[in-house]
Amino acid sequence: NAGVMQNPRHLVRRRGQEARLRCSPMKGHSHVYWYRQLPEEGLKFMVYLQKENIIDESGMPKERFSAEFPKEGPSILRIQQVVRGDSAAYFCASSPMPGNEKLFFGSGTQLSVL
Amino acid sequence: GQNIDQPTEMTATEGAIVQINCTYQTSGFNGLFWYQQHAGEAPTFLSYNVLDGLEEKGRFSSFLSRSKGYSYLLLKELQMKDSASYLCAVTWVDYKLSFGAGTTVTVRA
């Protein structure tokens, strides 16, 4: 049973480009959380999704950021017109149900904006 | 607000014991995780407490007091490989999971 898979592991973008980060949850997990982590800081909640639904996006910036978790395929975190301040590690975690102790993280995507 | 507070840094000697405290607001509390994170890597699960009391797993133990909004992670017989960031995370009744800023533990020989 593969773990939570994130790709790419490293992503380099120039200012103004789009970044797409993918997260495939563990088999049987239908709940996905996205977090952002700046160097020397803790994980900041961005968005919580179930299949085809956004449950809580209170941590997402209002502009340029969007997330989806379609019926088929991975969850996607999309950042449009990236700026240098978007440079961070983006982690996703998956769970079989909300509030469950079986919450596991992917290896993260390190986004660097030049 | 969902303030989760833990110390920024702790240093201890190899073979010693270190206790990392975490406090949180009690309103809406569901459960509490502890994760270990090495630099540049994903957080790895250490423990999950829902009920009051102490849970022991080998060299690591986690304690929870729901009424006091308090938890601690106890690391015993410290090893060099235990040098890492330790994250306290709280699940709320609305199923959001919030993290503290993390405690960086440095183990010295």
Show which residues on chain B lie within 8 Å of chain A, measured between beta carbons.
30-31, 33, 35, 41-45, 48, 87, 89, 91, 94-102
Contact at CB, A33 and B97, closer than 8 angstroms: yes
Tens digits of residue pLDDT in A72-99: 999 999 999 999 999 999 999 998 877 6
Tens digits of residue pLDDT in B50-96: 999 999 999 999 999 999 999 999 999 999 999 999 999 998 887 77
Contact B105, B10 (CB under 8 A): yes
Task: Tell me which residue of B47, B33, B17, B11 sits closest to B90, measured CA to CA.
Answer: B33
Distance CA B105, CA B109 (A): 13
For B8-53, the DSSP string reads SEEEEETT--EEEEEEE--TTEEEEEEEEE-TTS--EEEEEE-SSE
